[in-house]
Amino acid sequence: MPTWNYKEDIDYKSIKKEKVEKDELLFYMVCIASFIEITSKTYADNLCEYYKDNSDIVNWLKNDWEKEEVQHGKSLKKYVNEVWSEFDWEKGYARFLELYLPLCKPEALQSSKGLEMVARMIVETGTSTFYRAIENYALLLDEPVLQKLAHNIYKDEVHHYSYFDKFYNFYNKDEKLSRKKVLQIITKRLKEVNSEDVEMAFRAIYENKHSGSFDKQAYDDFLKNINKMASQHYPYNMAIKMMIHPLRMNKMVESSMVPIVRGAMKVLGI
């Protein structure tokens, strides 16, 4: 069960609206996250089917993971409605589902249960670090409600990572996956980061704000702005540590890898 409740623990009435309401990039980021998180049941159903012979995993996915992810969506939706009340969230979300659901085949899961756990760890690395960046950004903007909300979600995502890590250990006792295989899954997952769900969510919001027209250039500009924001607020070192952790190197090697991977990311413009 979620450890916090967005209706009781987040004081939406204390939002310093004037600090955030003109920030279009923030609006898009929070709104896109709300659309994707609130649709988490689709992902949870796929995973429950894949792990149906392991009741510990299915119970955790249904009773904790799915409920927490959906709460992330609802809490962010409420934030959007409080700050950007002129935006018709329901209409935008309906358009998102219209665009996204036809593309949303049962998720291509990895070939083994252990490898799928590695893929889930990379997804949770993405979400934890995303909300950490939002928390850092909200601190800079001096908006304490978003800061607290992003912090609560960030903690949940790190917790999810630790559960998938535990389940990975469980399967890896039998699967004994090679580092090469694990690295392949990590890189494959990283390439999928800028995925269809983000683009469809952006498009649904953009169309809603611009009377139905969509401009691909606007999406490219949005991604450029995200990169600019990330260069100041994204916790790169944390992301790298979480990403390479499934390789199970010793701690000293792990720490010495961080600056090397960070250097490679800079060269690649990530």
Three-class HEC string of the chain: CCCCCHHHHCCHHHCCHHHHCCCHHHHHHHHHHHHHHHCHHHHHHHHHHHCCCCHHHHHHHHHHHHHHHHHHHHHHHHHHHHHCCCCCHHHHHHHHHHHHHHHCCCCCCCCCHHHHHHHHHHHHHHHHHHHHHHHHHHHHHCCHHHHHHHHHHHHHHHHHHHHHHHHHHHHHHHHCCCHHHHHHHHHHHHHCCCCHHHHHHHHHHHHHHCCCCCCHHHHHHHHHHHHHHHHHHCCHHHHHHHHHHHHCCCHHHHHHHHHHHHHHHHHHCC
Q: Minimum distance between the CB of residue 201 and Fe ion, rounded to whole angstroms?
A: 14
Residue pointed to by tokens 């997804």: 123
Q: Minimum distance between the CB of residue 72 and Fe ion, rounded to whole angstroms?
A: 4
Residue 245: both structure tokens together: 């952790």
Residue 214: both structure tokens together: 């969509």
* Of 69 and 165, CB closest to Fe ion: 69
Q: Minimum distance between the CB of residue 120 and Fe ion, rounded to whole angstroms?
A: 9
* Of 69 and 135, CB closest to Fe ion: 69
Q: Minimum distance between the CB of residue 206 and Fe ion, rounded to whole angstroms?
A: 23
Q: Minimum distance between the CB of residue 250 and Fe ion, rounded to whole angstroms?
A: 27
* Of 154 and 207, CB closest to Fe ion: 154
Under a CB-based contact definition with an 8 Å cutoff, are residues 113 and 50 in contact?
A: yes
Q: Minimum distance between the CB of residue 29 and Fe ion, rounded to whole angstroms?
A: 14
* Of 75 and 208, CB closest to Fe ion: 75
* Of 190 and 257, CB closest to Fe ion: 190
* Of 37 and 207, CB closest to Fe ion: 37
* Of 57 and 207, CB closest to Fe ion: 57
Which residues contact Fe ion (rule: CB under 5 A)? 37, 69, 72, 127, 157, 160
Q: Minimum distance between the CB of residue 9 and Fe ion, rounded to whole angstroms?
A: 16
